[in-house]
C-alpha cells in the first residue's frame, strides 16, 4: 500500500514559509534613485529694472490653476479602503497561482515570482522553488487562499511618501489540498496542515505600480 513520506527539510516546504526571515533592503536603493531623479530648477531672480513692464490683468487671469481633482494619481496608488482591498485580494490569488505555475515547471524561469512578491517573501519562495527543483521534486496543483478578515493601513515609502491605503493585512485559510509535491512517484507530506490560517501582508509598490505579497506568517486560529 502506498505510504506518503514526510520530507526531512520541512522548513523549506512550508510553502509559503510560516516564519519568513527579517526583511531585506532589496530594491530600496534603486527605488530611491528613481524617486530622487526629479528636482525643481532654481527660481530666476526677480527683475528690478524700473522700465520693466507691469503685468497686465489679462496675464494674471490666465494663471488660474486648472481643476485636476478628479484625475487618478499618476502612480496608480489606491484611493480608498475598498480599492485597496480589491486589489490586494486579487494580488494574493495571482501570487499563489504564479508560485505554483513556476514550481510546476521546475523553476526554469523564476522571473514571474518578482511580479507577485517582494522581500522577504520573494527570497523565501525563490529559495523554496530552487530547492524543490534541485532535489528532483515535482509539483502539481495549486494552493488557494480565502481571506476572512482584511485590515487596510497606511504605508510610508522609502522616500517618505505616505500612501494612506498602501498596505493590506489579510487573514484567511490557506488550502494546500490540491497542491502535491512528489519525488520518484511518491507523495511528500508537507510540514504544514493542508488547511492552515495565515496572515498575509500585501503592499502597494509605487515603482512597479503593483500590489505584492511582502510577508506571510502562521496564525494560531483554525480554518
pLDDT digit string, tens, across residues 156-165: 988 889 999 9
Q: Could you tell me which of 155, 143, 140 has the C-alpha nearest to residue 17?
A: 143
Least confident of 29-33, 118-122, 166-170, 178-182: 29-33
For the whole prediction, is pTM greater than 0.85? no
What's the mean pLDDT in 121-128? 97
pLDDT digits (tens, 9 = 90+) for 165-197: 999 999 999 999 999 999 988 888 877 789 999
Q: SS3 of 82, please?
A: helix
Residue 95 confidence (pLDDT) above 60: yes
CA neighbours within 13 Å on the CB side: how many for 1? 1
d(CA 93, CA 89): 7
* CA nearest to 126, candidates 26, 195, 200: 26
Kindly calculate the radius of gyration of the chain based on its CA atoms and give it in whole angstroms: 25
The answer to whether 134 touches 110, Cβ cutoff 8 Å, is: no
Residue 139 CB: number of other CB atoms within 10 A? 23
Q: What is the mean pLDDT of the chain?
A: 75
**Domains located in the chain, CATH noted:** 7-19+76-218 (3.10.450)
The residue with greater pLDDT, 73 or 202, is 202
* Comparison of pLDDT for 81 and 50, the residue scoring more: 81
The H or E element that residue 177 is part of is: none
Distance CA 217, CA 200 (A): 7
What is the three-class DSSP state of 151?
strand
Q: Are 96 and 175 in contact (CB under 8 A)?
A: no
Amino acid at each position: 500500500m502506498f505510504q506518503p513520506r514526510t520530507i526531512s527539510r520541512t522548513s523549506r516546504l512550508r510553502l509559503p514559509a510560516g516564519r519568513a526571515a527579517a526583511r531585506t533592503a532589496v530594491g530600496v536603493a534603486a527605488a530611491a534613485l528613481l524617486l530622487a531623479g526629479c528636482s525643481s530648477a532654481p527660481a530666476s531672480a526677480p527683475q528690478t529694472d524700473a522700465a520693466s513692464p507691469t503685468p497686465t490683468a489679462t496675464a494674471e487671469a490666465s494663471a488660474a490653476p486648472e481643476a485636476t481633482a478628479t484625475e487618478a494619481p499618476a502612480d496608480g496608488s489606491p484611493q480608498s479602503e475598498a480599492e485597496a482591498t480589491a486589489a490586494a485580494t486579487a494580488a494574493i490569488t495571482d501570487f499563489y497561482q504564479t508560485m505554483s505555475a513556476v514550481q510546476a515547471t521546475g523553476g526554469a524561469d523564476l522571473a514571474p515570482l518578482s511580479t507577485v512578491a517582494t522581500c522577504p517573501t520573494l527570497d523565501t519562495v525563490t529559495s523554496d522553488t530552487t530547492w524543490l527543483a534541485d532535489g528532483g521534486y515535482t509539483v502539481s496543483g495549486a494552493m488557494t487562499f480565502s481571506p476572512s478578515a482584511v485590515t487596510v493601513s497606511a504605508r510610508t515609502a522609502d522616500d517618505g511618501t505616505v500612501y494612506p491605503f498602501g498596505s493590506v493585512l489579510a487573514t484567511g485559510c490557506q488550502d494546500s489540498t490540491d497542491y502535491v509535491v512528489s519525488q520518484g512517484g511518491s507523495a511528500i507530506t508537507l510540514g504544514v496542515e493542508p488547511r492552515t490560517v495565515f496572515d498575509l501582508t500585501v503592499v502597494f509598490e509605487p515603482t512597479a505600480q503593483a500590489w505584492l505579497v511582502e510577508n506571510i506568517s502562521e496564525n494560531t486560529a483554525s480554518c
